[in-house]
């Protein structure tokens, strides 16, 4: 008791900022309890926030794994990661429509997702229940294509710069991001494309105090697929030799090298895994939203960074949990703030984490 | 050209080995050939003119290269560079069939963009080049400067179409905008400077997005709502709005007061200066608005000179020497008893204030601004210009701004128009699918036309590729090799080769 008292006193003196932030967090939680108890905050809406937060959080977590791995192994913040998400999403959806609309519409119009004005994608009626094969094929192609793009970019851009500083690589990755994003615009046009019609999608309405809460089939698909992919990654990391090598590299690069781990092979695998999961995240995000736009991944990127920093750079499991936390924060914060500030709240959390616990909650690889 | 001390033999020697000069000779030969052919076949005039233009570009680049090697004077360097850009664009404009007004207006736009980018790059150079602070939230600090200025000077009782402001005079608004940008810089820097460089990058870009979201939000559109916690009002509501997504109007451009008796109304009678300059302009069919625009651009250039002077002074002062020491080795600077954190924060704030001022001068020309002008891409433009010029060099910053504004930003649309005009291309296909479908018939025309038509998209791809290429091959940029040493006297200079 006395010991914890001393420790607490020391914490207050040494890190007053942290204490203030913690107190503020506790205060907000108490306020939330009060709001729910007094009926000021409807339970249905709160459950909706939590569910939406989980859905977007899984996308962020899935995409964050690759960012976290490359950040720790190659030691740079990859600003092009968001656009890998976009490329995966577009290529995957082009595949889905090519399969689902086969025979009913012109191939070119389908692959361009209606950017040519030839066909309205919503009229094809793609949903996970009516055209499951097309959706699964799209997801697989999105994963493979994004992995291939990530690998090609590493070969052309990042590999010749292995010895460059982290900042040089960061700037180069901004160049990659620009080139990728506008290559997507060049092919698919800058205006967003609608993919699925909300009325086609199976959904369940659950009555709760203060309203009702809707569970959509595509949201459930996203959650299931994301969890499956994460479980698959877990198996890969824990039970294969390359997975162990990857974890070793992320943990301590020099030590890994001394023990004879083939560095370049592990780096290639990292790009494949990270890029592939990012592509899958892009596909699933577009599935859940029912639309896709060229800045899909770029807008997610800062949230992904927030998740990775929250979870601890280099920690795969940290990225997953960090993604969920960031997703939930960006939605539950809407209890207090207007809807357009959800992302701002998530960025604020990231800045606070950087200030008070730069190694992240999971204490990944210390990089500060 | 600095003719003195430049032997003719040297130029001849240079010409013999230079690939650029060979390109010039080749293009010139092709031009002469096409001219001869053109006497018999009438259709080649367009291609001939384009080839002639290419020959001119080669010659200009060659001359610039000689100027570059023989000039130690940075002002002459920048002047020579601007001259080359003007000649290149004027010739291209003529080839496009622009009239004098069009050409003068093109040069005005170039001057304006060069000036605003030069100012912003100079400010960023203070952060990145001098103090090694990797700030990629430039757009956010620009937004704070402009919005604060607009909100301070906005009308107290706005009409139905405007949002309210505090109704303060313009100079208060400008100073207020700079101070607000500096405070925003302080808020970002205070915590972030404890962290690694790439964390500062993420924090600044996140902060610039938070700011843009705030200015875009409908919450602050008409008035700032009161800050309430647990039923207690901490800050009362302010009748000052941001205009949300619709943007906010800015005070009347003060340059107009030089030309019109009533600056609010461009149909009012011109002043003495106005009637003199407009009269000269009308002689050459140059529009009044172009002349006013040129006056604004010239004022901006005066500001560029002021920025340049200020930064050179800062860089050479004891303060600047500490900054360079921090950039080279922070630990050593600390060991010598310098409070490096305070130096960094001061520098960061000064740079942010300058970014705010530059943005005010930029957006002030159009009397209106909206959050779309402060996307992260704006930051990347400025960074690219800095990398081209070479971080750490003020002259490089100005030249980088000019290269970016002319060659990279304004250049591609010009080239696209020139090529379209010369080859009388068929109309571009409406989408990528039709363009690619034609490839199946070995018809590359549609894809080419589609590419030219979407030159603004292609431009972004080129910028991205250029950033990568620069980081891989020339991370030091044009002037990065000119290291400004931290010491007042160059200790490494012992009369030998410069390292």
Instruction: Give the closest-approach CA distance of B323 to chain A in angstroms.
Output: 19
User: Most B CBs within 10 Å: which of A343, A347, A348, A356, as the mutation test of the B interface?
Assistant: A347
User: Residues 122-181, chain B: which have Cβ within 8 Å of A?
Assistant: 134, 136
Q: What per-residue confidence (pLDDT) applies to B491?
A: 56
Distance (Å, whole) CA A113 – CA A120: 8
Taking the Cβ of residue B439 and every Cβ of chain A, the question of whether any pair is shorter than 8 Å is answered with no
Long-range Cβ contacts of B150-158 (<8 Å, 24+ apart): B150/B248, B150/B249, B150/B250, B150/B251, B150/B369, B151/B240, B151/B241, B151/B242, B151/B248, B152/B176, B152/B177, B153/B250, B153/B251, B154/B240, B154/B248, B154/B249
pLDDT tens-digit profile of B333-347?
888 888 888 888 899
Say how far residue B196 (Cα) sits from the centre of its chain.
28
Q: How far apart are the first and last CA of chain B?
A: 28
Chain B partners within 8 Å of A189 (Cβ)? 431-432
**What is the C-alpha end-to-end distance of chain A, expressed in Å?**
33
How far is the C-alpha of B227 from the C-alpha of B234, rounded, in Å? 6
**Residue B5 tokens, joined:** 């001390």
Q: Give the helix/strand (H/E) hosting A291.
A: strand A291-292
Looking at residues B409-433, what average pLDDT do you find? Answer: 78
Is A231's Cβ below 8 Å from some Cβ in B? Answer: no
Interchain contact A355–B (C-beta under 8 A): yes
pLDDT > 90 fraction of chain B, expressed in percent and rounded: 16
For an interface test with A, the pick among B198, B225, B245, B409 (most A C-beta atoms closer than 10 Å) comes out as B198
Where is pLDDT greater, at A15 or A363? A15
Residues of A in contact with B460 (CB under 8 A): 178-179, 181-182, 185
**Are B188 and B181 in contact, with CB atoms under 8 Å apart?**
no
pLDDT tops 50 at residue A44: yes
Closest CA to B124 of B388, B333, B367: B388
A354-365 mean pLDDT: 69
**Strand duo B227-229 + B232-235: pairing:** antiparallel
CA-wise closest residue to A303 among A28, A45, A3, A61: A61
> What tens digit of pLDDT does each residue of A140-199 get?
999 999 999 999 999 999 999 888 888 889 889 999 999 999 999 988 888 888 888 877
pLDDT for B230:
61
pLDDT 10s digits, B106-161: 899 999 999 999 999 999 998 888 888 888 889 999 999 999 998 888 777 766 66
Tell me which residue in A175, A181, A350 faces B206 most closely, judged by beta carbons.
A350
The SS3 call for residue A351 is: helix
pLDDT at A367: 36
**Predicted local distance difference test score (pLDDT) of residue A363:** 61
Assess whether pLDDT exceeds 50 at residue B329.
Answer: yes
Q: Higher confidence at residue B103 or residue A354?
A: B103
Question: pLDDT band at B96, cuts 50/70/90?
Answer: confident
**Contact residues, chain A, for B230 at CB < 8 Å:** 31
CA-nearest of A240, A356, A177, A48 to B464 is: A177
Would you call B463 and A178 a contact, using CB atoms and an 8 Å cutoff?
yes
Asked if pLDDT for residue A328 goes beyond 80, the answer is yes
Q: How confident is the model at residue A208 (pLDDT cuts 50, 70, 90)?
A: confident
Query: To the nearest whole angstrom, how far is the Cα of A294 from the nearest Cα of chain B?
Result: 12
For A354, the closest of B197, B203, B214 (CB atoms) is B203
Residue B201 has pLDDT above 90, yes or no: no
pLDDT for res A341: 80
Q: Give, as one character, the DSSP assignment of residue A52.
A: H
B395 vs B19, higher pLDDT: B395
Strand partners, A214: A205
| pLDDT at site B2 | 46
Token pair recorded at residue B362: 């930029």
> Which residues from chain A sit within 8 angstroms of residue B468, using beta carbons?
157, 172, 175-176, 179
Which residues 126-185 of chain A have a CB within 8 Å of chain B?
Answer: 157, 160-161, 164, 166-172, 174-183, 185
* Cα A38 from chain centre: 35
For position A143, what pLDDT does the model report? 95
CA-based nearest residue to A33, from A46, A52, A24, A44: A46
Query: Which of B203, B434, B461 is closest, CB to CB, to A182?
Result: B461
Burial class (CB in 10 A: 0-12, 13-18, 19+), B149: buried
- Tell me the CA distances in angstroms from B405 to A358, B10, B113, B409, B411, one per residue in order: 38, 32, 6, 5, 8
**CB proximity list for B69: less than 8 A, separation 6 or greater:** none
Among A98-107, A191-200, B6-15, name the one with the lowest average pLDDT.
Answer: B6-15
The predicted pLDDT at position B496 comes to 47
**b/e A98-126 (16+ beta carbons within 10 angstroms → b):** bbbbeeebeebbbbbbbbbebbebbebeb
| A63 vs A338, higher pLDDT | A63
For residues A309-331, give the mean pLDDT.
87
Mutate to test the interface with A, among B244, B412, B449, B457 (most CBs of A within 10 A): B457
**Confidence band (pLDDT; 50, 70, 90) for B498?**
very low
So what's the pLDDT on residue A75? 83
Chain A nearest CA to B83, separation (Å): 30
| Mean pLDDT over each residue of chain B, to the nearest integer | 81
How many angstroms separate the CA atoms of B152 and B181, rounded? 14
Give the integer Cα–Cα distance in Å for B480 and A333. 46
Among partner residues B199, B213, B468, which is closest to A354 by beta-carbon distance? B199
Q: Which residue of B has its CA nearest to A116?
A: B431
Range in A56-60, B200-204, B280-284, B360-364 the model is least confident about: B280-284
Banded model confidence at residue B55, pLDDT cuts 50, 70, 90: confident
pLDDT at B481: 64
pLDDT of B478: 77
Confidence of residue B492 (pLDDT cuts 50, 70, 90): low
CA B439 – CA B450 distance, rounded (Å)? 12
Tell me if the pTM is above 0.90. no
Per-residue pLDDT, B188: 84
Predicted local distance difference test score (pLDDT) of residue A184: 93
Q: Percentage of residues in chain B with pLDDT exceeding 70?
A: 89
B235 DSSP β-pair partners: B227
Length of chain A: 368
Cβ atoms of B184 and B211 closer than 8 Å: yes
**Cα–Cα separations (whole angstroms), residue B42 to A326, B36, B51, B92, B432:** 68, 11, 16, 21, 34
Separation in Å, CA of B194 to nearest CA in chain A: 8
Beta-strand ranges (E) seen in A179-232 are 193-194, 203-208, 211-216
Q: What is the enclosing helix (H) or strand (E) of A173?
A: helix A166-188
Among candidate residues A15, A195, A165, the one with its CA nearest the CA of residue A76: A165
Distance between A167 CA and the closest CA of chain B, angstroms: 7
A233: helix, coil or strand? helix
User: Which residues of chain A are within 8 Å of residue B136 when distances are taken between CB atoms?
Assistant: 174
Note whether A158 and A108 are within 8 A (CB). no
| B378 to B43, B366, B461: CA distances (angstroms) | 43, 17, 15
Long-range CB pairs of A13-18, under 8 A, 24+ apart, other chains included = A15/A356, A17/A355, A17/A356, A18/A356, A18/A357
The residue of chain A with its CA nearest to that of B437 is A108
Q: Do B466 and A175 touch (CB under 8 A)?
A: yes
Mean pLDDT of B182-190: 87
Lowest mean pLDDT among A299-308, A343-352, B76-85, B86-95: A343-352
More reliable by pLDDT, B401 or B492: B401
The listed range with the strongest mean pLDDT (A248-257, B105-114, B229-238, B390-399) is B105-114
pLDDT for the residue B499? 38
pLDDT bin (cut points 50, 70, 90) of residue A356 is confident
- Residue B215, pLDDT above cutoff 90: no
- Give mean pLDDT, residues A82-96: 94
Contact A230, A62 (CB under 8 A): yes
- How confident is the model over A90-96, as a mean pLDDT? 92
Q: Are A300 and A82 contacting, i.e. CB atoms less than 8 angstroms apart? A: yes
Q: Binning pLDDT at 50, 70 and 90, where does residue B217 land?
A: confident
Query: Closest residue of A to B187, CA-based?
Result: A351
Specify the residue for token string 């720790």. Answer: A72
Range scoring the smallest mean pLDDT among A70-74, A241-245, B392-396, B489-493: B489-493
Q: Which of A19-33, B134-148, B309-323 has the highest mean pLDDT?
A: B134-148
Residue B1's pLDDT is 44
């Amino acid at each position: 008791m006395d010991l914890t008292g001393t420790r607490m006193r020391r914490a207050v003196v040494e890190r007053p900022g942290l204490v203030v932030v913690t107190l503020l967090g506790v205060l907000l939680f108490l306020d939330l309890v009060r709001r729910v108890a007094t009926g000021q905050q409807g339970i249905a809406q709160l459950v909706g926030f939590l569910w939406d937060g989980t859905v977007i959080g899984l996308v962020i977590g899935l995409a964050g794994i690759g960012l976290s791995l490359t950040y720790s192994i190659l030691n740079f913040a990859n600003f092009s990661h968001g656009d890998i998400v976009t490329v995966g999403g577009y290529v995957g959806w082009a595949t889905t429509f090519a399969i689902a609309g086969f025979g009913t519409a012109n191939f070119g119009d389908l692959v361009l997702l209606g950017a040519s004005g030839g066909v309205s994608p919503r009229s094809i009626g793609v949903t996970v229940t009516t055209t499951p094969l097309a959706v699964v094929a799209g997801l697989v192609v999105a994963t493979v294509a994004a992995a291939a793009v990530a690998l090609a970019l590493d070969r052309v851009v990042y590999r010749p710069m292995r010895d460059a500083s982290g900042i040089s690589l960061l700037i180069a990755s901004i160049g990659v991001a620009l080139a990728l994003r506008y290559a997507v615009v060049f092919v698919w046009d800058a205006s967003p494309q609608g993919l699925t019609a909300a009325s086609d999608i199976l959904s369940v309405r659950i009555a709760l105090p203060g309203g009702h809460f809707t569970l959509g089939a595509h949201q459930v698909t996203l959650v299931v697929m994301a969890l499956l992919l994460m479980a698959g990654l877990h198996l890969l990391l824990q039970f294969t030799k390359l997975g162990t090598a990857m974890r070793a590299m992320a943990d301590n690069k020099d030590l890994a090298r001394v023990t004879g781990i083939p560095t370049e092979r592990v780096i290639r695998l990292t790009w494949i895994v990270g890029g592939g999961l990012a592509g899958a995240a892009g596909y699933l995000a577009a599935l859940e939203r029912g639309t896709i736009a060229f800045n899909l991944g770029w807008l997610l990127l800062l949230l992904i960074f927030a998740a990775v920093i929250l979870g601890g750079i280099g920690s795969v499991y940290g990225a997953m949990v960090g993604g969920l936390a960031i997703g939930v924060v960006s939605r539950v914060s809407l209890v207090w703030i207007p809807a357009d500030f959800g992302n701002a709240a998530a960025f604020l959390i990231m800045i606070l984490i950087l200030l008070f616990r730069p190694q992240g909650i999971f204490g990944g690889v210390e990089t500060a | 050209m600095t003719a003195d001390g430049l032997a003719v033999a040297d130029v001849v020697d240079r010409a013999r080995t230079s690939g650029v000069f060979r390109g010039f000779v080749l293009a010139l030969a092709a031009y002469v050939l096409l001219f001869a052919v053109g006497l018999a076949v009438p259709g080649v005039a367009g291609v001939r003119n384009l080839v002639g233009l290419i020959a001119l570009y080669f010659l200009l680049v060659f001359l610039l290269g000689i100027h570059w090697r023989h000039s130690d004077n940075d002002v002459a360097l920048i002047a020579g560079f601007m001259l080359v850009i003007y000649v290149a664009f004027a010739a291209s404009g003529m080839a496009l069939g622009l009239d004098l007004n069009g050409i003068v207006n093109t040069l005005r736009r170039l001057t304006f963009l060069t000036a605003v980018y030069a100012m912003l790059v100079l400010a960023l150079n203070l952060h990145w080049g001098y103090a090694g602070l990797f700030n990629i939230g430039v757009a956010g600090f620009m937004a704070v400067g402009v919005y604060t200025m607009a909100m301070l000077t906005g009308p107290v009782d706005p009409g139905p179409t405007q949002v309210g402001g505090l109704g303060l005079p313009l100079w208060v608004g400008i100073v207020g905008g700079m101070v607000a940008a500096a405070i925003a810089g302080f808020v970002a820097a205070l915590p972030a400077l404890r962290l690694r460089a790439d964390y500062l990058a993420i924090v600044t870009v996140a902060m610039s997005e938070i700011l843009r979201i705030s200015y875009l939000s409908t919450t602050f559109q008409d008035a700032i709502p009161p800050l309430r916690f647990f039923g207690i009002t901490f800050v009362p509501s302010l009748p000052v709005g941001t205009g949300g997504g619709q943007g906010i109007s800015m005070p009347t451009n003060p340059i107009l007061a030089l030309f019109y008796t009533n600056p609010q109304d461009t149909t009012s009678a011109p002043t003495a200066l106005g009637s003199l300059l407009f009269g000269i302009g009308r002689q050459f069919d140059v529009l009044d608005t172009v002349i006013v625009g040129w006056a604004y651009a010239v004022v901006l250039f005066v500001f560029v000179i002021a920025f340049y002077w200020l930064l050179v002074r800062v860089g050479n002062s004891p303060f600047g020497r500490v900054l360079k020491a921090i950039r080279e080795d922070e630990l050593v600077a600390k060991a010598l008893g310098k409070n490096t954190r305070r130096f960094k924060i001061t520098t960061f704030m000064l740079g942010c204030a300058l970014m705010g001022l530059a943005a005010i001068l930029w957006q002030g020309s159009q009397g209106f601004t909206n959050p779309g002008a402060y996307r992260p891409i704006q930051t990347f433009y400025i960074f690219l210009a800095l990398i081209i010029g070479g971080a750490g060099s003020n002259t490089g910053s100005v030249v980088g701004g000019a290269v970016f504004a002319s060659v990279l930003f304004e250049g591609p649309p010009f080239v696209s128009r020139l090529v379209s005009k010369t080859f009388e291309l068929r109309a571009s296909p409406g989408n990528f699918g039709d363009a690619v479908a034609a490839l199946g018939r070995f018809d590359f025309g549609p894809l080419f036309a589609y590419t030219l038509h979407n030159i603004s998209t292609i431009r972004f791809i080129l910028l991205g590729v250029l950033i990568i290429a620069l980081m891989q091959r020339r991370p030091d940029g044009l002037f990065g090799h000119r290291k400004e040493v931290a010491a007042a006297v160059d200790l490494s200079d012992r009369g030998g080769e410069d390292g």
